[in-house]
Amino acid sequence: MTRSELSSLIIEKKSYLCIGLDSDIQRIPQHLLSYDDPVFEFNKQIIDATQDLCIGYKPNIAFYESGGSAGWATLEKTLAYIPKEHFTIADAKRGDIGNTSKMYARAFFEQMDFDALTIAPYMGEDSVRPFLGFDGKWVILLALTSNPGSNDFQRTLQENEEPLYQKVIGKAKEWSSSEEMMFVVGATHAEDFRNIRKTAPDHFLLVPGVGQQGGDLATLSRLGMNDQVGLLVNSSRGIIYAGSGEDFAEKARRAALKLQQEMEILLTERFG
Amino acid sequence: MTRSELSSLIIEKKSYLCIGLDSDIQRIPQHLLSYDDPVFEFNKQIIDATQDLCIGYKPNIAFYESGGSAGWATLEKTLAYIPKEHFTIADAKRGDIGNTSKMYARAFFEQMDFDALTIAPYMGEDSVRPFLGFDGKWVILLALTSNPGSNDFQRTLQENEEPLYQKVIGKAKEWSSSEEMMFVVGATHAEDFRNIRKTAPDHFLLVPGVGQQGGDLATLSRLGMNDQVGLLVNSSRGIIYAGSGEDFAEKARRAALKLQQEMEILLTERFG
């Protein structure tokens, strides 16, 4: 999916919502445990209930890996079930020496057919480059994450007062363009969106941390939106665990709808 | 495995060699492709041929993930085949928000039973902490890697001339002890071992990049060894792809033996 296709999809669906499928066998509703593959059944019902409200799904790979080869099969089935027009993100936070990154690229872009993959920047250019150059595929590089630990290194000042996350964005812009790279920027740091938009005016930003982690949608949207929208806002637990009973999918839909409606207002405010 | 058990194993086997099972279906000998699970057969023969010469095996998870759920099953079979007295490292370079890191910990320490897991530090303390506190298990945190990209961020200077990788080591020492944490330090930076030993005199260091990536074993060993040895030196491609024909396992053994014999001399030099 190209950047302009992604923008069009957002405008058309009046939503820049991405739903995180952080589906934990220990947290899904009890009544699903009688299915052959309870996590897949959970995902299927969540997707059925929310697909008109969101433009993408983001399975966090950890939740599938924790089930071993069976969990990996669940991931493959889930990806196959997501309707083709949706943007799919493997939230894997991978990154290794070039030789190895090539294998991860093969895993997520060829063995499976994700549109995008999250990547950790710590190992630098040659760990990121093997993920670039896949037609219509995206690298989503961690810049400023939404967790407390983002204060440990990402915000560390450099000689010229530039924090590490800004250095990451600056360097990454040398490696690639906004046509195939996005940045992860946590919603819990709304005040930073202004700075980031100075460095990366054109890039899409993937924003986790809305809802469960406390980010404010209106503030970050007004600061972070650009002419092509430029935002994918993710909510995981706030949607998929909105309910815990037999009506979990309906409750997930209601939580997603609330965000989509707020997004519709914010999109209208900006794009008419 | 405790730190002193690991030291004893090294002294007993006269080796601090770890063999990286970066086993790529596209690179293993042709004649193995007729097996049901060619990568497992490759690993099995490599393990059979080298187990007396090394103290551990380190499968790089990318090479298994690239095969999807079948690849994951190969990893599980490989781990089960490695003799129990060996130290097993999942080279996964994971790291995510706390909630997610817990799932990765479950994947590698419970679903599978690896002794250690490599972790990327970019997301800070709460992304690392969920991997700590597992009895006899280890976190191996990326500090200074062996690839060219280590110059992009890891060596970036801070206000007080302290590079990021030293800051990572310093912070990580606040989170945990040398009884359950090691650091990855690339062999291609032998001159840095002296600095790192000032900051982390007691920690074990996992050293990749010997062989294929050009690191010098004698230099790094003399600079990096401590009273408990404190070094695990990994070689992957230099051993497992030493041959490409039907005698690949024998050639792998010869390559491993060469390193083990050099290690024996270096251990004798230090410990008598």
Q: How far is B54 from chain A (nearest CA, A)?
A: 22
Q: Is residue B99 classed as helix, strand or coil in its secondary structure?
A: helix
Instruction: Look at the block and give the residue holding tokens 């889930």.
Output: A78
pLDDT value at residue A242: 96
Asked if the model's pLDDT at residue A71 lies above 80, the reply is yes
For residue B272, name the pLDDT band (cuts at 50, 70, 90).
confident
Domain ranges of chain A: 3-271
- What pLDDT, on the 0 to 100 scale, is given for residue A214? 60
Is the pLDDT at B191 greater than 90? The verdict is: no
pLDDT over threshold 70, residue B162: yes
Is the model's pLDDT at A249 over the cut of 90? yes
Among the CATH numbers 3.90.228.20, 3.10.20.30, 3.20.20.70, 3.40.50.300, which is that of A3-271?
Answer: 3.20.20.70
B77 touches chain A (CB under 8 A): no
Coil, strand or helix: which one is B55?
coil
Confidence of residue A35 (pLDDT cuts 50, 70, 90): very high
Whole-number Å distance between alpha carbons of B243 and B250 = 8
List, as ranges, residues 101-120 from A with C-beta within 8 Å of B: 101, 103-104, 106-107, 111-112, 120
Provide the mean pLDDT of chain A: 94
pLDDT at residue B94 tops 70? yes
Question: Is A93 a known active-site residue?
Answer: yes
**Model pTM score:** 0.95
In this predicted model, which residue has the larger pLDDT, B188 or A213? B188
ipTM over 0.90: yes
Q: How high is the pLDDT of residue A188?
A: 81
For the CA atoms of B182, B185, B186, B191, what is the dihedral angle to 10 degrees? -150
pLDDT of B189 strictly over 90? no
Distance from the A53 Cα atom to the nearest Cα atom in chain B, whole angstroms: 25
pLDDT at residue B60, rounded to an integer: 96
CB-based contacts of A67, cutoff 8 Å, min separation 6:
A25, A39, A74, B107, B111
Residues of B in contact with A145 (CB under 8 A): 97, 122-123
Mean pLDDT computed over B200-210? 94
Q: Report the pLDDT value the prediction gives residue B212, as an integer from 0 to 100.
A: 60
pLDDT at A272 (0 to 100)? 87
Q: Under a CB-based contact definition with an 8 Å cutoff, are residues A185 and A205 in contact?
A: yes
Q: What is the mean pLDDT of residues A68-79?
A: 94
Residue of B13, B77, B93, B102 marked catalytic: B93
Provide the pLDDT for residue A53.
98
In this prediction, residue A212 carries a pLDDT of: 60
Which residues numbered 127-166 in A keep a CB inside 8 Å of some CB on B? Answer: 127-128, 142, 145-154, 156-159, 164
- pLDDT averaged over every residue in chain B: 94
How many A×B Cβ pairs under 8 Å?
197
Q: What is the pLDDT of residue A159?
A: 73
